[in-house]
Chains A and B, each alone.
Chain A
Amino acid sequence: MTTKTRPTKFGKLAVALRNLKRNAFRTTVLVSAIAILVALLIFATFFTVSVSATIEKASDRLGADLLIVPVGARDFAQEFLLESKQKSFYMPKEILPRVQEIEGIESATYQTYLETITGLCCDVAEAQIIAFDQDTDFIVKPWLQNSIGRALGPGEAIAGIETYENLGLELLEVEKTMFNKRFKIVGVLERTGTGLDNAIFMTETDLQEIVAGGSSPLKKDQISIIFAKIGRDVDPYHVGLDVEGNIIEVDVVTRREMGSELLRKLSDINKIFVLSTVMGAILTVFLVWAIFSAIANERASEIGIMRAVGASESHIVRLFILEVVLVGVLGSLIGTALGTYLFMSLTKSFALLRDLSVPVLSFRPLPAYLLQQSVIGVASILVGTGICIAGALGPINRIKRLEPHVSMKGSLLCRR
């Protein structure tokens, strides 16, 4: 007597698994279809959410209601601040007091952008240099406070986190030469999620010295951008119009408009995503429906037997749903992993994502980020499983109604 003691728990799950294993090929096709659909869904959602969240965060974190730039430089400014493309654009400094006079403007500060020229004058790789005015600044100050807890002194510079990483400035307190002036890099700013991460900061005073020394292409009293805060109850759009109306040399970008060009591109991409996901979902429902119709017919007599030994309609439905859910969950899990992997590995090949200043998957706060990713993951699993159930429901409902006696007629013999 071969007493192979197998204390395996025998239940509905075992039956469902056995049925799935019986036709491994069909199961594989189903799981793959669900996985591909969910991967597409995950990819599309991550893409959209990341791009729009990054744009929103970046414009929020700048902390300015209005950006005031030389006429024509509107796109340059946004590209620098959101996509960290190196840009130089200039306007006379005398515009600042004119901006400050306009009604509704509470405070304004300015920055000057300068590109390093490797080898010629500087011993840092190409980077954007930002000179800011410590007296009026409200953009860099909070980050500076966090980092070194004090203002920058003469001859001191501080690096944005990306610059710091890119330039390999692992050792702090390094000396660097920029435009023939020695600078001490005294620290690194926390990640701001804006173009500021890709810059090296120095004070306005130091910049003036460089300009006076003549070693930069910059002329005296030139600035690149004015950041303005407006009063609590004023409409940024109207103030912006006022600024543009009064000062013809400038263009204004409101906080809400920031990144609108990117968002427009994004919404077109989204339409394509939605369309392909919906078509994919419809195809998958049909596939599941076709496969489960075949399964239901094939197993008619087996279902009759189960009914005869005591399975109710709802037992049969639950048994099939279990099978469907196993396929759906497995497919969705694989799809979620695949979609996430694709997103991470393809990030670099999408210009839209590559150019955003924040590495898309790294913004903080981490718990909120993880929560968001989990919500997307769980939602995708629900969608994948739901689509699977939707496709299988028709055949399952048809088969459960058959009288046990009728469904058993005919092919009762066990096939080898």
Chain B
Amino acid sequence: MSQVEISNLSKVYTVGGEEIIAVQNLSLTIEKGDLLAVVGHSGSGKTTLISMIGGILKPTSGSIVVDGTDICKLDDADLSEYRNRKIGFMFQFASLLPVLTAMENVLLPRIFAAEGGANHHRRAEEYLDALGLADKRHAFPGELSGGQQRRVAIARALINEPRLILADEPTGDLDEETEADILKLFHQLNREKGISFVIVTHSSEIAAECRKRCRMSHGVLEHEV
């Protein structure tokens, strides 16, 4: 059963009167439990695409139907709840709040969650431990390396147990060993919890390990087998 149905999706940025077509007439289906890699040249529209799927960027036209709802038609409150509950977003760049500790950054999405749930603290600790940050729980982002910050962001994306994780170059500045660890974690979550993944990457190795691959080029999507 399809989890996300994208049809005829376009995004046009207007900068100084000039139009930049970042995503053009794109259609894509993400099935439950998919592990999809998106590759493509710099500037091909990858970040733009997953930002729209993640509900942090409004498309110019087209629809994104998630679990039967077109998220392009949601109001701010519902769209925010969608981002909070259904999506785990990992940004291309470091994205931690400097005033919060690693632990608090991981727990940040809980602040905006509509319904309370138990065990976040324990779960946050578990994720941090699993990502090798057990001794950095109370460190501030400024005290962490780039790779450590990125791992905190991964734990944050997981805290609300989303059904879909959108990862924009999640291993961009990590060493190979850590990169492998993270991929292992992704595979494990995908296998054991059925979480779907869309992973934007430049690495052909990562892409090779994913079950599905597609390539973006000048805003257009080409499926690969």
In the assembled complex, B151 has its CB within 8 A of some CB on chain A: no
Residues of B within 8 A of A15 (CB): 97, 99-100, 111
* Also in contact, A405 and B57, with CB within 8 A (given A18-B99, A305-B97): yes
Residues of B within 8 A of A344 (CB): none
Residues of A within 8 A of B107 (CB): 10
CA distance in complex: A35, B137 (Å): 38
Residues of B within 8 A of A10 (CB): 103-104, 107, 110-111
Contact of A416 among B96, B99, B104, B142 (CB under 8 A): B142
Please tell me which stretch of A45-53, A312-320, A385-393 contacts chain B, meaning at least 4 of its Cβ atoms lie within 8 angstroms of it.
A312-320
In the assembled complex, B25 has its CB within 8 A of some CB on chain A: no
Residues of A within 8 A of B109 (CB): 309-310
Please tell me which stretch of A147-155, A210-218, A406-414 contacts chain B, meaning at least 4 of its Cβ atoms lie within 8 angstroms of it.
A406-414
Contact of A405 among B56, B85, B98, B142 (CB under 8 A): B56
CA distance in complex: A256, B98 (Å): 65
1/0 per residue, CB under 8 A from A, across B88-127: the answer is 0101011111111001100111111100000001000000
CA distance in complex: A308, B109 (Å): 9
CA distance in complex: A10, B80 (Å): 20
CA distance in complex: A310, B111 (Å): 9
Kindly report which residue of chain B lies nearest to residue A21, judged by CB atoms. Answer: B99
Residues of A within 8 A of B98 (CB): 22, 302, 414-415
Beta-carbon contact of A311 and B95 below 8 Å: no
Beta-carbon contact of A310 and B81 below 8 Å: yes
In the assembled complex, B51 has its CB within 8 A of some CB on chain A: yes
Tally of contact residues, A, Cβ under 8 A: 37
Contact of A4 among B57, B80, B113, B138 (CB under 8 A): B138
In the assembled complex, A19 has its CB within 8 A of some CB on chain B: yes
Kindly report which residue of chain A lies nearest to residue B113, judged by CB atoms. Answer: A310
Beta-carbon contact of B54 and A12 below 8 Å: no
In the assembled complex, B149 has its CB within 8 A of some CB on chain A: yes
Kindly report which residue of chain A lies nearest to residue B88, judged by CB atoms. Answer: A309
Beta-carbon contact of B95 and A1 below 8 Å: no
Contact of B80 among A312, A406, A412 (CB under 8 A): A312
Residues of B within 8 A of A271 (CB): none
Known: A15-B100, A308-B95, A405-B56; 4 extra A-B contacts, CB below 8 A, are A6-B138, A310-B112, A310-B160, A311-B112
Kindly report which residue of chain B lies nearest to residue A6, judged by CB atoms. Answer: B138
A305 to chain B, nearest CB (A): 5
CA distance in complex: A405, B80 (Å): 13
In the assembled complex, B84 has its CB within 8 A of some CB on chain A: yes
Residues of A within 8 A of B96 (CB): 305, 414
Q: Tell me the residues in window 56-98 of chain B with beta carbons closer than 8 Å to chain A beta carbons.
A: 56-58, 76-77, 79-81, 83-85, 89, 91, 93-98
Residues of B within 8 A of A313 (CB): 76, 80
In the assembled complex, B141 has its CB within 8 A of some CB on chain A: yes
* Also in contact, A415 and B142, with CB within 8 A (given A306-B112, A308-B83): yes
Contact of B93 among A6, A311, A406, A413 (CB under 8 A): A413
Residues of B within 8 A of A311 (CB): 80, 84, 111-112
Beta-carbon contact of A413 and B89 below 8 Å: no
Beta-carbon contact of A412 and B111 below 8 Å: no
Q: Tell me the residues in window 1-36 of chain A with beta carbons closer than 8 Å to chain B beta carbons.
A: 1-2, 4, 6-7, 10-12, 14-15, 18-19, 21-22
Beta-carbon contact of B112 and A312 below 8 Å: yes
B residues in contact (CB < 8 Å) with A: 51, 54, 56-58, 76-77, 79-81, 83-85, 89, 91, 93-100, 103-104, 107-113, 121, 129, 134-135, 137-138, 141-142, 149, 156, 160
CA distance in complex: A15, B110 (Å): 12
Residues of A within 8 A of B89 (CB): 308-309
Beta-carbon contact of A308 and B94 below 8 Å: no
Residues of A within 8 A of B83 (CB): 307-310
Residues of A within 8 A of B110 (CB): 10
CA distance in complex: A315, B114 (Å): 11
B150 to chain A, nearest CB (A): 11
Beta-carbon contact of A2 and B135 below 8 Å: yes
Residues of B within 8 A of A22 (CB): 98-99
In the assembled complex, A404 has its CB within 8 A of some CB on chain B: yes
Kindly report which residue of chain A lies nearest to residue B146, judged by CB atoms. Answer: A413
Beta-carbon contact of B100 and A18 below 8 Å: yes
Residues of A within 8 A of B97 (CB): 15, 302, 305-306
In the assembled complex, A403 has its CB within 8 A of some CB on chain B: yes
Residues of B within 8 A of A416 (CB): 142
* Also in contact, A412 and B100, with CB within 8 A (given A308-B56, A308-B83, A310-B80): no
CA distance in complex: A106, B110 (Å): 78
Residues of A within 8 A of B104 (CB): 10, 14
B100 to chain A, nearest CB (A): 6
Beta-carbon contact of B99 and A414 below 8 Å: no
A-B contact pairs, 21 of them (CB 8 A): A1-B134, A2-B137, A4-B138, A10-B110, A10-B111, A15-B100, A18-B100, A22-B98, A302-B97, A305-B91, A305-B95, A308-B54, A308-B83, A308-B89, A310-B85, A310-B112, A312-B76, A315-B111, A406-B57, A408-B91, A413-B94
B130 to chain A, nearest CB (A): 13
A303 to chain B, nearest CB (A): 10
Residues of B within 8 A of A307 (CB): 56, 80, 83
CA distance in complex: A403, B11 (Å): 14
Residues of B within 8 A of A4 (CB): 137-138
CA distance in complex: A11, B51 (Å): 26
